[in-house]
Amino acid sequence: MTDLTAKTTEVHTDEERASGGTSNPYLLMPISVLFILLIFAIIRSPSLISSAGIGSAIIVSAPLILATYALMANAISGRGTVDLSVGPLIGFINVTMIQLVANGYIGSPVSVFIFAVALGMAYQLLMGLIIIYIRVQPIIVSLSGFLALSGINLVILPRPGGLAPEWMLNWGSGTTIFSPVLIILIVATLAWLLFTQTAFYTHLRLMGSDERAAYTSGVPITIVRLGAHAIAGMFSGLAAITFTSLISSGDPSQGTTYTLIAITAVVLGGTSLAGGRGSVIGSLFGALNLYLITYVLATFNFGAVQSFVTDLAYGAILVASLLLTLALPFIQRHIRNFSPLLYFVALSVIVFGVILHNTFDYDGLKSIQPVLLMAGPLEAAGTNAVNLVSPGYAKPLIFAALLIIIIPVLLRVLVSQSSRKDIGPLLAIVVAALVLLGGYLLSRGPELPDSGAKTEEVR
Amino acid sequence: MNVPVADMQNGNLLAKLIGLVLAIGLTAIGVVLGFVQGLPAQQVILYAVATFALSAWAWKFYLQQFHTQNSAAREEDGPGELRQAWEKYRLGVLGFVILLAGFLILSLTVEGFFNVWNVVSGLILLAIIVLTITVGKFVSENKSAFIGLMVLIGLFTIGAMNIEGFASAVNIKSILLFAAFLGLACVGQTLVSLLGGLDLSIPFVIGSANVGLLYMISLGVPPWLAVILILLLGAIIGAINGILSFRLQGQALILTLGTGFAISGGTQIITSIGTAYSGNVFGTVPKWLSNLSAMNGVTFGLPFPPVIAIWALVAIVLIVGMRNTVYGRYLYALGVNRTSARRISISERVYWVAMYSLSGLFSALTGALLLGWSGGGFIGVGDPYLFMTLAAVVVGGTSLLGGVGGYGFTVIGVLVLQVLTSFLVGIGLNFEWQQFIFGILILPMVALYARSPHIRTQI
């Protein structure tokens, strides 16, 4: 009897240990919100899932995502570091870049990148030095930076205007997915993921959750804090570049808005402003969520009160997601082996289904009167969907979808039951392969009816 | 025993020599500049004598204050005399040179900067700095209030001398009027920061109250009833803030921001229902309300707007109440140490919610009074208060971590900010520069008294 209980507890702890590294319950919320919004967005306006739709989504949300990364780097470092000055800093790099380009001091891509990143890092390092050596609370330092930078931005460029460097002008068109902005985004995300593998990141998290413990265990907290600021500065520089490419000019007055939205995105992504916790995927989803909120709301026609409704929705979602973090301990208690990856895959299969449903039913929707369309977004699609979906295309897709769900579930169970911990990468590879397979099938299978639908739409 | 005395005399001689050289240098620069500007010779000589005397006096004062005890404890053998003298007086000399360099740069770049008033005000500034440093050594408690007062006196003296009409009744009245608005908006921020929280919903509540009050009046609600309703609504919103953020105290900043967005959006949606003018409300403000806060308002026959009297009353009640009543003492007790406060059965939740609802109440009051001042509803009327309330609280010396400070400090902070604004407007700087200078000045002011201890002393 005792033997048995001992065994079960052993398995139990093993399970927990196996899930300890990867399971991050704080990702639960951003993922759920992301997919709910995504489904809404696709149903409301299927043009999101097109080359141009995704392209413009990337272009518009890139500065926000990068600003969110910058904020996150600082937030992890603890002491309640909420960098209020991130928006004005992006504006500052933007307007100085525009002015320097206009006067011919810089112009080539390399010089612009070096300039933006160096300026961001210089500012953030200065801030870090003030926090470390003058020992004023970080929020006061960032408040001071906010006021000073938003003032000086208006001095440098009194009103929106100017022109971005020539090579950057066609970045902001957003007609294709594979724009340079996407490359910047991917490189930045990968860089952060690589960074999380370093000892420096471990030090950073330790310092964020308990600075005294970090100091007594010999972590060089001064250097770690400066490093966090340098990384934040780097991301601010990149955010400024993508911001410049988005608006193709200079704008000194975006500071307050960007600060508030970026802080919202950080919190939506599950980063703790108290320090020590944060994930790049969460921040990415947080920023994407904000874009999707705006997108979904834009599909409703509120007329003159559009921006007010957006404000209201921002606020309500922000408060709701914050309150949901209170419920996380309960969820964590019940779901021991939560895997964000599996959750993500499962939800993305559902979204794939919705996309397929929507794309194939597009003709059907077209034929109905617009009045009926307004009746209810969920009901309208079902009218004569069946006869349009060719079973020949649908079968492999459904099969792939089932595979995508079942195989990871099996693998996940396998991993959690076995005591070995290094199956994790294998799982990731298999899931990635399956997703790729699904994507391949998707791109091959419904090509004919899909393009047909599109051409009809164009007409 | 002979050696130290001789040494001391020697040192004194050297010190005097350095002072003499500095004074002569300063005078020479003054004379050269005077002749370059083409002033009459008599004036130049007069200024030169005045400069020489004043700088010699300042140096003597500096010597007396800082180098009476130090010189006795000097070692006998060391580097050469000149080097010793340099090491001993380098702080004074460096400070002097930096001030001089700043002054010179300003006089060379700004046309007509070099005149007698600027020289005199520069010297007054010097005297105030010296006085602050010397007397500040004896002030151990309430250092922030002392420094704030010194800055206030300095700013006011210099402003009164340099700017025509700065010390006039009209200008003082307008400073006090705007200080009253800012001061009332800061009540909530101060109370909440004493508990270690932050309230960023203040500007949104101000804007919403501003628009909502006019909307109610335009609907035909009696103005007195409308004001009471608005105050009540403000308090309710504050209470909601408090209830929601009680479990999320670390994230209070972002949660109140979210409710702020939601409230501002919601108010605008409500007020724009049924009208063609989105977000713009039209109506007539009753006479008594505009008398409350207009520049030409009358309080019981005295020619100043009643809002100043209201602010003074609120300030007195709060200062006395927080010092002498049990509620005030409990507030500080909670701010300093939650655990010990709980041991003497102080309800943290009640105080947290009460402070937030007071914050909402006073924000709504500010919004209502601002309606009387402007005469038209505008949702963005609170926007400048987003970070200004924070700045005033911080400059005054209330710690954002809780437990230290009080409303009296905030009053000083508010006055410093308003007098500084008035001063900057007076010397012809526009809004951008004002904001920049605010940002730059917050840091050193806070650094003078609110430095946190080094990490190694916290273990």
Check whether residue A158 and residue A290 sit in a common domain. Answer: yes
| Placement of tokens 């010179």 in the chain | B104
**Confidence label for A455 from pLDDT (cuts 50, 70 and 90):** very low
Contact indicator for B66, B95 with CB cutoff of 8 Å: no
**B299: helix, strand or coil:** strand
pLDDT number for residue B231: 92
Check whether residue A295 and residue A356 sit in a common domain. Answer: no
| Placement of tokens 């009046």 in the chain | B217
Task: Say yes or no to pLDDT of B18 above 80.
Answer: no
Question: How far is it, in rounded angstroms, from Cα B63 to Cα B84?
Answer: 15
**What CA–CA distances, in Å, run from B392 to A199, A417, B182, B398, B400?**
41, 58, 8, 9, 12
Token pair in block for residue B402 = 């809780």
**B441 located within any domain:** yes
pLDDT number for residue A83: 86
- Residue numbers of B between 264 and 303 with CB closer than 8 Å to A: 264-266, 268-269, 272, 278-279
Instruction: Give residues with Cβ within 8 angstroms of A83, minimum separation 6.
Output: A70, A71, A74, A75, A127, A138, A142, A232
Check whether residue A256 and residue A350 sit in a common domain. Answer: no
Contact indicator for B15, B85 with CB cutoff of 8 Å: yes
**B78: helix, strand or coil:** coil
Residue of chain B minimizing CA distance to A84:
B387
Secondary structure of chain B: what % helix, strand, coil (to 5)?
Answer: 80, 0, 20
Summarised one tens digit per residue, pLDDT across range A359-390 is 665 544 444 444 444 433 444 444 444 444 44
Token pair in block for residue A442 = 């998707």
**What CA–CA distances, in Å, run from B12 to B6, B58, B266, B403, B452?**
10, 15, 72, 46, 37
Where does a domain end: A328, A355, A374? A328
Distance from CA of A433 to the nearest CA of B (A): 39
Check whether residue A317 and residue A369 sit in a common domain. Answer: no
A215 touches chain B (CB under 8 A): yes
- Residue numbers of A between 313 and 342 with CB closer than 8 Å to B: 313-319, 322-323, 325-326
**Mean pLDDT within A411-424:** 64
Out of A26-30, A71-75, B62-66, B101-105, pick the least confident: B62-66
Question: How far is it, in rounded angstroms, from Cα B309 to Cα B185?
Answer: 15
List of E strands, B132-203: none
Domain holding B200: CATH number?
1.10.3470
**B146 located within any domain:** no
Residue type, B189: Q
Best mutation target, A82, A140, A157, A301, to test chain B (most B CBs within 10 A):
A140
**What CA–CA distances, in Å, run from B173 to A325, B306, B367, B392?**
49, 11, 20, 19
Distance from CA of B299 to the nearest CA of A (A): 36
- Residue numbers of B between 368 and 427 with CB closer than 8 Å to A: 383, 386-387, 390-391, 394, 400-401
Residue of chain A minimizing CA distance to B459:
A212
| Domain extent for A345 | 1-23+337-459
Chain-wide mean pLDDT for chain A? 75
Of B258, B443, B453, the CB nearest to A315: B258
Check whether residue B359 and residue B243 sit in a common domain. Answer: yes
**Confidence label for A122 from pLDDT (cuts 50, 70 and 90):** very high
In 3D space, the residue among B232, B203, B194, B122 whose CA is nearest the CA of residue B348 turns out to be: B194
Task: Work out how many CB contacts closer than 8 A connect A with B.
Answer: 172
From chain B, pick out residues whose CB is under 8 angstroms from the CB of A150: 435, 439
Chain-wide mean pLDDT for chain B? 78
pLDDT number for residue B232: 93
B243 touches chain A (CB under 8 A): no
Token pair in block for residue B413 = 């902070």
Task: Say yes or no to pLDDT of A316 above 80.
Answer: yes
Summarised one tens digit per residue, pLDDT across range A225-263 is 999 999 999 999 999 999 888 888 888 887 777 888 888
A177 touches chain B (CB under 8 A): no
Q: Which residue has the higher pLDDT, B199 or B87?
A: B199
Task: Say yes or no to pLDDT of A310 above 70.
Answer: yes
Check whether residue B347 and residue B198 sit in a common domain. Answer: yes
Distance from CA of B421 to the nearest CA of A (A): 14
Residue type, B217: I
Instruction: Give residues with Cβ within 8 angstroms of B220, minimum separation 6.
Output: none
Where does a domain end: A328, A346, A381? A328
Residue of chain A minimizing CA distance to B196:
A80
Of A272, A317, A319, the CB nearest to B255: A319
Check whether residue B91 and residue B179 sit in a common domain. Answer: no
Best mutation target, B261, B275, B400, to test chain A (most A CBs within 10 A):
B261
Check whether residue A7 and residue A91 sit in a common domain. Answer: no
Question: How far is it, in rounded angstroms, from Cα B31 to Cα A379?
Answer: 89
A378 touches chain B (CB under 8 A): no
Question: How far is it, in rounded angstroms, from Cα A268 to Cα B16?
Answer: 64
Instruction: Give residues with Cβ within 8 angstroms of B325, minimum separation 6.
Output: none
From chain A, pick out residues whose CB is under 8 angstroms from the CB of B266: 308, 312
**B259 located within any domain:** yes
In 3D space, the residue among B306, B332, B319 whose CA is nearest the CA of residue B410 turns out to be: B319
Tell me how many degrees the CA angle B132-B137-B140 measures, rounded to the nearest 5: 110
Check whether residue A343 and residue A281 sit in a common domain. Answer: no
Task: Say yes or no to pLDDT of A432 above 50.
Answer: yes
- Residue numbers of B between 170 and 229 with CB closer than 8 Å to A: none
A263 touches chain B (CB under 8 A): yes
Check whether residue B24 and residue B114 sit in a common domain. Answer: yes
Check whether residue B250 and residue B131 sit in a common domain. Answer: no
Task: Say yes or no to pLDDT of A445 above 70.
Answer: no
Of B262, B450, B459, the CB nearest to A312: B262
pLDDT number for residue A68: 92
Check whether residue B183 and residue B125 sit in a common domain. Answer: no
* CB-based burial label for B51 (10 Å; 0-12, 13-18, 19+): buried
Residue A434: how many other CB atoms lie within 10 Å: 20
Best mutation target, B192, B272, B455, B459, to test chain A (most A CBs within 10 A):
B455
Check whether residue B176 and residue B113 sit in a common domain. Answer: no
A209 touches chain B (CB under 8 A): no
Tell me how many degrees the CA angle A305-A306-A312 measures, rounded to the nearest 5: 90
Question: How far is it, in rounded angstroms, from Cα B285 to Cα B216?
Answer: 11
Of A216, A273, A304, the CB nearest to B254: A273
Question: How far is it, in rounded angstroms, from Cα B418 to Cα B413?
Answer: 9
Task: Say yes or no to pLDDT of B278 above 70.
Answer: no
Domain holding A319: CATH number?
1.10.3470
From chain A, pick out residues whose CB is under 8 angstroms from the CB of B442: 140, 143-144, 147
Check whether residue A38 and residue A161 sit in a common domain. Answer: yes
Of B269, B383, B387, the CB nearest to A305: B269
Distance from CA of B245 to the nearest CA of A (A): 9
pLDDT number for residue A168: 77
Summarised one tens digit per residue, pLDDT across range B294-325 is 777 777 767 778 888 889 999 999 999 888 88
Check whether residue A164 and residue A80 sit in a common domain. Answer: yes
Question: How far is it, in rounded angstroms, from Cα A129 to Cα B228?
Answer: 49
Q: Which residues of A386-409 are buried (b: 16+ CB within 10 A; e: fewer)?
A: eeebeeebeeebeebbeebbebbe
Report percent pLDDT > 70 for chain B.
Answer: 78
ipTM over 0.95: no
Task: Say yes or no to pLDDT of B178 above 70.
Answer: yes
pLDDT number for residue B65: 61
DSSP A321-382: HHHHHHHHHHHHHH-TT--HHHHHHHHHHHHHHHHHHHHHTHHHHHHS-HHHHTT-TTTGGG
Distance from CA of B132 to the nearest CA of A (A): 19
From chain A, pick out residues whose CB is under 8 angstroms from the CB of B278: 303-305, 308
Question: How far is it, in rounded angstroms, from Cα A297 to Cα A376?
Answer: 16
Residue of chain B minimizing CA distance to A82:
B253
Residue type, B28: A
Helix axes B385-396, B431-449, angle to 10 degrees: 30
In 3D space, the residue among A369, A363, A393, A368 whose CA is nearest the CA of residue A455 turns out to be: A363
Domain count, chain A: 2
Residue B75 CA, distance from chain mean position: 44
Distance from CA of A226 to the nearest CA of B (A): 16
Task: Say yes or no to pLDDT of B78 above 60.
Answer: no
Check whether residue A209 and residue A162 sit in a common domain. Answer: yes
Question: How far is it, in rounded angstroms, from Cα B19 to Cα B16?
Answer: 5
Helix axes B306-324, B326-336, angle to 10 degrees: 70
**Mean pLDDT within B167-174:** 82
A212 touches chain B (CB under 8 A): yes
Check whether residue B400 and residue B262 sit in a common domain. Answer: yes
pLDDT number for residue B173: 85
Instruction: Give residues with Cβ within 8 angstroms of B313, minimum separation 6.
Output: none
**Mean pLDDT within B386-415:** 84
Residue type, A321: S
Check whether residue B177 and residue B108 sit in a common domain. Answer: no
**B163 located within any domain:** no
pLDDT number for residue A271: 81
| Domain extent for B205 | 169-457
| Highest mean pLDDT pick, A269-278, B176-185, B441-450 | B176-185
Check whether residue A351 and residue A407 sit in a common domain. Answer: yes
| Highest mean pLDDT pick, A175-179, A415-419, A441-445, B149-153 | B149-153
Q: Do A312 and B443 touch (CB under 8 A)?
A: no
**B152 located within any domain:** no
Check whether residue B70 and residue B178 sit in a common domain. Answer: no
A305 touches chain B (CB under 8 A): yes
Distance from CA of B257 to the nearest CA of A (A): 7
Check whether residue A342 and residue A320 sit in a common domain. Answer: no
**B125 located within any domain:** yes
**B90 located within any domain:** yes
**What CA–CA distances, in Å, run from B123 to B58, B99, B166?**
9, 10, 19
Token pair in block for residue A420 = 């070995």
Residue of chain A minimizing CA distance to B441:
A144
Q: What is the dihedral of CA A425, A426, A432, A436, to 10 degrees?
A: 150
B244 touches chain A (CB under 8 A): yes
Question: How far is it, in rounded angstroms, from Cα B420 to Cα B417?
Answer: 5
Domain count, chain B: 2
Task: Say yes or no to pLDDT of B84 above 90.
Answer: no
In 3D space, the residue among B193, B180, B247, B203 whose CA is nearest the CA of residue B364 turns out to be: B203
**B156 located within any domain:** no
Check whether residue B196 and residue B313 sit in a common domain. Answer: yes
Token pair in block for residue A206 = 């330790």
Check whether residue A137 and residue A245 sit in a common domain. Answer: yes
Question: How far is it, in rounded angstroms, from Cα B148 to Cα B448?
Answer: 10
Summarised one tens digit per residue, pLDDT across range B218-269 is 887 888 888 899 999 999 999 999 998 888 877 788 888 889 989 988 888 8
Check whether residue B181 and residue B128 sit in a common domain. Answer: no
Residue of chain B minimizing CA distance to A302:
B269
In 3D space, the residue among B177, B181, B185 whose CA is nearest the CA of residue B386 turns out to be: B185
| Highest mean pLDDT pick, A397-401, B177-181, B426-430 | B177-181
Instruction: Give residues with Cβ within 8 angstroms of A158, minimum separation 6.
Output: A252, B432
pLDDT number for residue A449: 42
